[in-house]
Structures are given as structure tokens and as C-alpha cells.
Amino acid sequence: MKTLDFFFDFGSPNAYYSWKVLPGILKRTGAEANVIPVLLGGLFKLTGNQPPMVAFSAVKGKLAYEQLESQRFMKKHGIHAFRFNPHFPVNTLLIMSGLIAARRLGIGDAYIEAVLKAMWEDGLKMDDPAIAAGVLSAAGLDAQAILTATQDPAVKAELAANTEAAAARGAFGIPTFFVGEEMFFGKDRLGQVEDELR
Amino acid sequence: MKTLDFFFDFGSPNAYYSWKVLPGILKRTGAEANVIPVLLGGLFKLTGNQPPMVAFSAVKGKLAYEQLESQRFMKKHGIHAFRFNPHFPVNTLLIMSGLIAARRLGIGDAYIEAVLKAMWEDGLKMDDPAIAAGVLSAAGLDAQAILTATQDPAVKAELAANTEAAAARGAFGIPTFFVGEEMFFGKDRLGQVEDELR
């Protein structure tokens, strides 16, 4: 069975889009996903990269075109609930530490679903611990256990180590995918990812 | 019959790749191409954009990944003769004016083939008029007539007007394609272009 490594941070709308189309790719190819939590802000610092909204803010037409491509992607893949987060950019240290904590509790996938919905459908300010706690509780998850565990130095160390390993492997942004040694950057490469998994 | 507008400058290796796969797209869709000569440097100035090699030079891993995607594209499409031009960036004012001039002489496509080969297979310094003349003559084209016509103010005015029109339509780089009102940027969107032409 082939494995798809998916370097992931909740802060990227493109990670949300990719998560939505992932089940179909896994079903069609029989592959399994290995979602690797990294801190996008840390990856940017390690590689000298910037968010597209910053890097391309002065280029006439570029961000409008990126938005158009996102609209096309959502239309093609039947993604209807997306709403750009009004608090963007949201600092994701808390919710990414929370993902590692939730996995230790065996509830990683439910956590991802709840937090992605809060970030990219409901427009919530998920770097606010009280708001994050409310979202997790509403999803039936143990908010207190998760948020307490985010303070564990081992959790933060794992997130930092994942981020450094991603940069060392060649990643400079999110979402980045690996199939074996083959790297693919961005939601627009998911077709190539699927071809590589076959 | 549908028309594919292709904003084109010889200075972009991605324009070379796109030109190579264009015949297949036109054959499969029954569309016709409208290659529109623009000055990439002018388009960058009008939109505040930069060549990827400049914009991403400080981002660790980004240009290496772009190269990897170019290698994948060439492999997928059977493009074997490409060689990065050692004189890059080549100022394309002369050869883009030459394209407009060659079209007025009814030899536009032969001119494109000859100049793309010189730029992206043979690695020639095509902003040198003597080298350009040699390339055109070797291809059986009337180098003197073409190069003389590049000095016609109407030729330069057409190139400038095309470039301004491209920016006004939303283009910020090369290759940019339009199918009706739908814009697509980059060689990696040619699959979408083909879908749109069907």
C-alpha cells in the first residue's frame, strides 16, 4: 500500500480544499494518508517564504487570479461551505499543537474535521483558547484535555521537529505532498499526486 | 470554432513548453490559436510583477521545485530538446518586434519556430541583432526585411498596445491564455484550457 505524506497546517485555505478532496483520492488509489502537522509560520521562517497574500499583494491581478483558481477548484470538487476566515491570518500554534495532542488522545481525525470547519466554514478566531474550547466541546471532544496537552513541551517539540523536517525535505509551503521521494506543492498538483499513487 | 488567445513572449521558457503542446490541444479540440505578441518585461512593469527567478530567489527550495515541475512537464509531453538559455534573461524587444514584423510578411509561424529553437534549444543570445539575423537566414527567412521592419514605429506601437491590453485584461505573466472571458495562467493550466475548449 502506498502512503501519501501531507504536510498540513489549519492556517492554509489550500490545506482545507485538499483535505476535502483527499478521501476520493485515497478511495480511488487504495493509498493511505499520513497527515503531518507542521507550523506554516515556522516553515516560512525556515525557508524565507511568505504567504501569497503578502508576496503577491503588489502584483496587479495576481491575487484575483488565485481566487479565481480557488473558485474553479471548489466548483470542480463540489466544495460549497468554504468561507474565507475574517480573522485571517490566524496564529495556528494553539490549534496545531492541539492536533498533536488530539492524536495522542486517539481523536485526531475528528479534531481535524472540527477545527477545519471552524476555521474555513464558520469563520471563527481559532487562536483564541476560549473559542477553540467551545468548538471542540461542541464537536463532542474533550476540550480541556486537548488544550491542557498543548502546553506539554513534548507536543511543541514534535511540532517544531516536524516543521524542520519538512523544510529539510524541500517543502516551503502548505499543502505539500510526498509520494515516496516525489514532492508536490499546492492543491493544483493533486491530480499529479493521484497519478503518482496509481 | 473556439479560439484560444495565447499571450506570448519568447523570453519565457514556459511559453516554449506551451508552444510545444499547443498543436495537440488544437487537434483534439478543433480550436484555433491566436498567438498575441506581448513584451513580458513591459507586462511586469505594468503589473508590478517580477520573473520567478527574481521573486523566489530567496525562498529555499522554491526554484528547485519549479525546475522539478518543468522536468515533469517535459517528460510527460515528450519535450526533449530544451536547454536553459545561458544568456538568460535575454531582452526580447528585438525578437518580439520581429514577430510582428514577420507576421506582416506572412511568415509568423516559421519565425516563431526558428526563434524558439534558437532561444530554448540552441542557447543563442537573441538580443544580438547579428545573431538573430544569422538564425533567421539559416531558417530560410528574410532576415534583413524582418530586422528592418522591427524599427517601424507602428510595429513597436502594436507590441506596446498588445502588452497594455494584456494587463488590462488581467494578465500578469507569460504564458497567459484566454478562452472567451476565462483566463488561465501558466503551462500547468493547459489541461484546464483544453477542458474549457471542449
Instruction: Count the domains in chain A.
Output: 1
H/E/C letters for each residue in chain A? CCEEEEEECCCCHHHHHHHHHHHHHHHHHCCEEEEEECCHHHHHHHHCCCCHHHHCCCCCCHHHHHHHHHHHHHHHHCCCCCCCCCCCCCCCHHHHHHHHHHHHCCCHHHHHHHHHHHHHCCCCCCCCHHHHHHHHHHCCCCHHHHHHHCCCHHHHHHHHHHHHHHHHHCCCCCCEEEECCEEEECHHHHHHHHHHHC
Q: Give chain B's contact residues with A (Cβ, < 8 Å).
A: 46-49, 55, 58-62, 64-65, 68, 72, 167, 170-172, 183, 185, 188, 191-192
Q: Residue A66: closest CA among chain B residues belongs to which residue?
A: B185
The CATH number of whichever domain residue A145 belongs to comes to: 3.40.30.10
Q: What is the pLDDT of residues B145-192, one digit of tens each?
A: 999 999 999 999 999 999 999 999 999 999 999 999 999 999 999 999
Per the CB < 8 A criterion, the answer to whether A110 and A141 are in contact is yes
The answer to whether B183 contacts A65, with C-beta atoms less than 8 Å apart, is yes
Amino acid at B111: Y
Distance of residue B123 Cα from the nearest chain A Cα, in angstroms = 29
The alpha carbon dihedral of A72, A62, A173, A119 has a sign of: negative
Which residues share a beta bridge with B179?
B4, B182
Can you tell me the ipTM of this complex?
Answer: 0.93
The domain in which residue B173 lies consists of 3-197
pLDDT for residue B63 is more than 90:
yes
pLDDT for residue A20 is more than 90:
yes
Q: What is the pLDDT of residues A106-145, one digit of tens each?
A: 999 999 999 999 999 999 999 999 999 999 999 999 999 9
pTM: 0.94
**Distance (Å, rounded) from C-alpha B56 to C-alpha A161?**
25
Q: Residue A195: closest CA among chain B residues belongs to which residue?
A: B76
Distance of residue B72 Cα from the nearest chain A Cα, in angstroms = 10
Amino acid A1: pLDDT: 84
3-state secondary structure of B157: helix
**Distance (Å, rounded) from C-alpha B184 to C-alpha B172?**
11
Amino acid at A86: P
Q: Residue B192: closest CA among chain A residues belongs to which residue?
A: A72
Distance of residue A193 Cα from the nearest chain B Cα, in angstroms = 12
The 10 Å Cβ neighbour count of residue B117 is 15
Q: What is the pLDDT of residues B130-157, one digit of tens each?
A: 999 999 999 999 999 999 999 999 999 9
